[in-house]
Amino acid sequence: MLQTLEVSAYIKPERVITLKNADKRQVIERLIDLLTQDPVVRDKEKMKQAIWDREKQLSTGIGEGIAIPHARTAAVSDFAVAVARIESGVEFNAMDAKPVHLIFMIVASDKQDKDYIKLLSRLMLRMKNTELVQQLLQANGTEDLYRILVETR
């Protein structure tokens, strides 16, 4: 496991997508499909259920156009991350009632309690950087989006 616990360490280029438009269910399902390609995922259906169970508790739309669907589950052995940018925005029942444009999906092992909280916290702190968020929203395609995610701190 990486000591820095930065989300960028777990992002793979093939798990960063840009969609013109989609609804909440479509985006979450697409991100789940991307994550299931990661070898850390042991059970796709259990992972999928964990994500939806968490989303039913309370929307993971944290505001300012960002959502972070996440779950800890025995269905994975380590962190896996997928990212979507939705150009038109998507209704996500966010805290501020604004459409969501950036979605970060994170799954972790059920044994990664403290590291899971640290990873989520660091991502939320990063997303408070309005300059970074604007760069992500204005990225020129998925390659540029991925580059910004992994090169900026």
Output b/e per residue, 19-31; b: 16+ Cβ within 10 A: eeebebeebbebb
Structural fold of domain 8-148: Mannitol-specific EII; Chain A (3.40.930)
Going from N- to C-terminal start, the domains of the chain cover: 8-148
Which residues share a beta bridge with 80?
Answer: 107
Which residues share a beta bridge with 85?
Answer: 18, 102
Does the structure show a pLDDT above 50 at 3? no
Confidence of residue 71 (pLDDT cuts 50, 70, 90): very high
Our answer to whether residue 70 is catalytic in this structure is yes
pLDDT of residue 1: 40
Is-contact 23 43, C-beta < 8 A?
A: no
HEC secondary structure over the chain: CCCCCCHHHHEEEEEEEEECCCCHHHHHHHHHHHHCCCCCECCHHHHHHHHHHHHHHCCCEEECCEECCEEEECCECCCEEEEEEEEEEECCCCCCCCCEEEEEEEEEECCCHHHHHHHHHHHHHHCCCHHHHHHHHCCCHHHHHHHHHHHCC
Does the structure show a pLDDT above 80 at 4? no
Does the structure show a pLDDT above 90 at 79? yes
Does the structure show a pLDDT above 50 at 38? yes
- Of 3-17, 34-48, 64-78, the poorest mean pLDDT is in 3-17
Does the structure show a pLDDT above 50 at 16? yes
Does the structure show a pLDDT above 70 at 127? yes
Strands 61-63 and 80-90: unpaired
Q: Phi/psi zone of residue 20: left (φ > 0), alpha (ψ -120 to 50 degrees), beta? A: alpha
Catalytic residue among 70, 72, 85, 126: 70
Does the structure show a pLDDT above 70 at 153? no
pTM of the model: 0.93
As a whole number of angstroms, the distance between CA 72 and CA 69 comes to 11
